[in-house]
Amino acid sequence: MKTILLVRHGKSSWDYSVSDRDRPLMERGIKDAARVAKEYMKNSIKIDAAYSSPANRAMHTAIIFLRTINFPLEKFNLSHSLYDFTGDDVHSFIRSLDNSKDTVLLFGHNEAFTHIANSLGNIYIDNVPTSGFVEIKFDTNDWGAVVKGTTGRTLFPKLIKE
């Protein structure tokens, strides 16, 4: 059994004159990432590895989430394949994962993550919101064979009770 956990980056700020990759999180993005991570911890599963897009907003979301769940940062890496907005590179990244890893957490962007959630999961999601979390389980032991899975938990900041 393989499981992919998708977390879209938190709400980012357009207030700065920086490149897309350098755009920072807003205060709301920081708070929402922590809220989703705390909610995840209530029914957490063992994560074998975590990867993030190298964009500032995705990396910052990843660090907030991973510190909140006490994930060892030596199992965290960046991947340029996750700086993707279509889902094609993310899908290729998933299919190329090391089969020794059963559960992998990814931090990235829309439209890619909504596309992945809908093309690989079995529940239609109109839009994975900022800081949104989607779990997809696959009945296979080979990442290269991942085609269609079962959507598990979804955690969206607006739906989490304070």
Binding residues for substrate: 57
Cα separation, 153 vs 159, whole angstroms: 12
Q: Is 80 left (phi over 0), alpha (psi -120 to 50) or beta?
A: alpha
Parallel, antiparallel or unpaired: strands 49-52 and 76-78: parallel
The Cα 47–Cα 41 span in angstroms is 12
Structure-token pair, residue 7: 């977390």
Place of tokens 């829309």: 110
Q: Which residues are annotated as a binding site?
A: 57
**CA-to-CA distance for 132 and 58, rounded, in angstroms?**
12
Going across the sheet that includes 103-108, the strands are 76-78, 49-52, 103-108, 2-8, 133-138, 150-155
